[in-house]
C-alpha cells in the first residue's frame, strides 16, 4: 500500500519508575486508537530514560580536573562535563555548548545527556540497553494484544552543516532498521551501487514531526500502514568512523591536508 | 491536529524536457487524489533534475590531471571525478567511491552527481536553482488549483557513522524549513536551550520512506494534514563548518589533537 499515517500519542507526565506501556495504552485509549497488526510504535528516548529512572542530579557531582578543563574549553557546566565523560566511550571533541561523544558505537552530542525535559537541576541519560527494552516492549504488546508491532526508541540528531534536529533510532525491534537495496535495479535496469535506506531513522524523523520537543507531552507516535516486512529483526548496525563519508573524509582532510 | 498522512505519487518515467507538474497532476488523478489546502508536495531532486535536462554523458568528458589524481585516490571514474569537481565549490575529501563536496553551502557526496536513475553512461546533476523552482511550482499550483501548497525538493543523505540514507530538503517553499523553539518551555517550564526542529528535512525523510530509490517510479509524495504555518517562507538556512558540531569538533580534534 502506497500510503501511511502517523499519529502523535499524548501521554501524562512520565515519572521515574512509571511503566511506560501503561502510559501508551492510556494514550491510545484517550485518542480512541487501538493497536492494529503491523503498527509501528515510536518512543522518545527521553521518556524511556525517565521511566527507567535514568535521571541524575547535577548537584553533588564533583567534576574531575579533566572535566573542569573540558568544561572550560567548550563552555559547559563542569558537572555536566563530568557526567558526559562518564557516559561516553570517547569524547571526539566539541563546540561551545556541546561535546561530541562516541557511546556504544553511536556518535552523538553530550553522550545523550540532556537537561531539557528533566526536572530542574537534573539531567536525563540515554536509556540503558535500549535494544533489550524495545524487544521486551514488542513482546509484551504481542502478549497483551496478539498483534505484531514494531518498537523503535528514537533520539534527535543534526545533519552536518544543517540547522535543526531530526530523528534517529537508537533501538529498533520487529522491522529491519536498514533496507539494503544494493542488487536491486534502477529505472533503467542498472544495478544500484550503494543504496541502503535508513528505514528506522526515517521513521524516527517522521515521528519527530509530531512528537515535538517542548511541552507538548507527545513522547510517542504510532505509524500505521507503512509497507515493510515485520519479523524478528533486532538492533541497529553502525559503521566505523573510517567507513563514514563525513568522518573518514574529514580525518583524511585534516590529518593530511590536500 | 495530531495526525498526518503520506501518499506516494507514482509517475510515468520522467524525461528531459518534461513538465514535471504534468506528471504530478496525472499521478494524483490516477490515484484519485487531488490537492487540498495546505498539502505538502515532496519532489525527489533526481526527477526535478531530469526534467530540467540536468543530465550529462560521461563519455566525451576529458578528465584533468587533478581529476585523474583524485579519481585514483578515491577509486572513482575519472570522468565522474571531473564532473564532481566542476559541480563542487570545494572538495573536502572523500572515501573510496565517494568525494565529499561543498556546493552552495551544502555538504554532500559527489556534489549530488548521481549515476543511479540516469540513462546508461549518463549522470544527473543537482537541479539548477531549486529554490526558484520550488517557489515557481508552488505559485503555479496556487494558480491552477487555488490551494496554498508547500513544495519541497529533497535529496538523500547519510548521518555520520550510520548506515542508510535519509532525506534532506534542498529547497523548501511555503512553510518554514526549520522551526526555532528556543524560548519555548519544556515539560518542567524551563526555557529550552537549543532546539531547532528540522521540519523540511524530517518531511523529506518521511517522504523517502515511500518514494523509494530503485525502480519504484515514485519520485514524489504528498503529505496531508501536517500542522504547520503556511506562508511565503522560502529557502533553507545552512550553517558554517565551524558552527557544525561534527565538522567543528572533528576539525579541532584532528588539527589540534587533545
Q: Which residues are paired to B227 by β-bridges?
A: none
Per the model's pLDDT, the better-predicted residue between A213 and B205 turns out to be B205
* Beta strand A122-124 pairing with A40-44: unpaired
What is the helix (H) or strand (E) element at residue A34, kind and residue range?
none
Per the model's pLDDT, the better-predicted residue between A41 and B189 turns out to be A41
**What average pLDDT does the segment A248-256 reach?**
71
**What average pLDDT does the segment B84-99 reach?**
91
pLDDT of residue B249: 82
Mean pLDDT score across all residues of chain B: 90
In tens, the pLDDT along A63-80 reads: 999 999 999 999 999 999
Confidence tier at A231 by pLDDT (50, 70, 90) = very high
The three grid cell numbers given for residue A35, joined into one nine-digit string: 493497536
Interface predicted TM-score (ipTM) over 0.90: yes
In tens, the pLDDT along B45-65 reads: 999 999 999 999 999 899 999
Candidate from B13, B208, B238 with C-beta closest to A202: B208
Find the residue in A nearest to B13 (Cα).
A187
Find the residue in A nearest to B247 (Cα).
A160
In tens, the pLDDT along A106-127 reads: 899 999 998 777 778 899 999 9
Residue A155 confidence (pLDDT) above 90: yes
In tens, the pLDDT along B115-147 reads: 777 778 899 999 999 999 999 999 999 999 999
pLDDT of residue A192: 61
Residue B23 confidence (pLDDT) above 60: yes
* CB-based contact B92:B101 (threshold 8 Å): yes
* Segments of B21-125 assigned E as strands: 40-44, 55-57, 90-95, 98-103, 106-109, 122-124
Residue B236 confidence (pLDDT) above 80: yes
pLDDT of residue A5: 98
**What average pLDDT does the segment B175-193 reach?**
77
Residue B1 confidence (pLDDT) above 80: no
Query: Do A4 and B115 count as a contact with CB atoms less than 8 A apart?
Result: no
* CB-based contact B243:A95 (threshold 8 Å): yes
Q: What residues 95-154 of chain A have any CB closer than 8 A to a CB of chain B?
A: 95, 97-98, 100, 102, 105-107, 109, 115-120
Give the gap in angstroms from C-alpha A169 to the nearest C-alpha of chain B.
10
* CB-based contact A248:A242 (threshold 8 Å): yes
Residue A243 confidence (pLDDT) above 90: no
Residue A198 confidence (pLDDT) above 90: yes
Mean pLDDT score across all residues of chain A: 90
Top mean pLDDT of A63-72, A208-217, A243-252, B179-188 is at: A63-72
In tens, the pLDDT along B62-75 reads: 999 999 999 999 99
Residue B254 confidence (pLDDT) above 70: no
Backbone conformation region of residue B53, classed left if phi is above 0, alpha if psi is from -120 to 50, else beta: left
* CB-based contact B103:B85 (threshold 8 Å): no
**What average pLDDT does the segment A169-184 reach?**
90
Residue B188 confidence (pLDDT) above 80: no
End-to-end CA distance of chain B: 49
pTM of the model as a whole: 0.93
pLDDT of residue B240: 85
pLDDT of residue A194: 59
pLDDT of residue B258: 44
Confidence tier at A182 by pLDDT (50, 70, 90) = confident
* Rounded percentage of chain A residues whose pLDDT exceeds 70: 91
In tens, the pLDDT along B2-20 reads: 899 999 999 999 999 999 9
Give the gap in angstroms from C-alpha B146 to the nearest C-alpha of chain A.
25
* CA distances from residue A84 to A70, A81, A87, A156, B114 in whole angstroms, order as listed: 11, 5, 5, 17, 40
Q: Which residues are paired to B55 by β-bridges?
A: B124
Residue A160 confidence (pLDDT) above 80: yes
Confidence tier at A258 by pLDDT (50, 70, 90) = very low
Give the gap in angstroms from C-alpha A241 to the nearest C-alpha of chain B.
6
Q: Please give, one letter per residue, the 3-state secondary structure of A81-149.
A: HHHHHHHCCEEEEEECCEEEEEECCEEEEHHHCECCCCCCCEEECCCCCHHHHHHHHHHHHHHHHCCCC
Q: CB distance from A167 to chain B under 8 Å?
A: yes
Which of chain B's residues have a Cβ under 8 Å away from the Cβ of A13? 187
Amino acid at each position: 500500500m502506497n500510503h501511511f499515517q502517523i499519529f502523535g500519542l499524548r501521554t501524562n507526565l512520565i515519572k521515574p519508575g512509571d511503566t511506560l506501556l501503561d502510559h501508551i495504552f492510556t494514550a491510545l485509549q484517550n485518542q480512541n486508537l487501538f493497536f492494529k497488526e503491523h503498527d509501528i510504535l515510536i518512543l522518545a528516548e527521553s521518556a524511556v530514560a525517565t521511566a527507567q529512572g535514568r535521571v541524575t542530579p547535577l548537584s553533588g557531582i564533583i567534576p574531575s580536573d579533566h572535566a573542569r578543563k573540558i568544561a572550560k574549553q567548550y563552555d559547559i557546566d563542569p558537572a555536566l562535563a563530568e557526567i558526559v565523560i562518564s557516559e561516553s566511550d570517547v569524547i571526539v571533541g566539541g563546540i561551545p555548548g556541546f561535546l561530541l561523544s562516541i557511546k556504544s558505537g553511536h556518535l552523538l552530542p553530550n553522550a545523550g545527556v540532556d537537561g531539557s525535559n528533566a526536572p530542574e537541576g537534573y539531567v536525563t541519560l540515554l536509556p540503558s540497553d535500549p535494544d533489550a527494552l524495545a524487544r521486551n516492549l514488542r513482546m509484551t504488546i504481542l502478549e497483551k494484544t496478539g498483534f505484531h508491532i514494531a518498537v523503535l526508541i528514537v533520539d534527535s540528531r543534526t545533519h552536518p552543516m544543517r540547522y535543526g534536529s531530526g530523528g534517529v533510532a537508537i533501538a529498533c525491534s520487529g522491522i529491519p532498521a536498514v533496507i539494503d537495496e544494493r542488487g536491486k535495479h534502477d529505472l533503467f535496469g542498472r544495478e544500484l551501487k550503494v543504496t541502503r535506506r535508513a528505514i528506522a531513522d526515517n521513521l524516527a524523523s517522521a515521528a519527530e514531526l509530531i512528537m515535538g520537543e517542548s511541552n507538548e507531552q507527545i513522547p510517542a507516535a504510532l505509524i500505521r500502514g507503512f509497507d515493510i516486512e515485520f519479523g524478528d529483526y533486532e538492533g541497529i548496525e553502525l559503521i566505523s568512523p573510517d567507513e563514514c563519508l563525513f568522518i573518514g573524509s574529514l580525518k583524511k582532510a585534516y590529518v593530511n591536508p590536500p
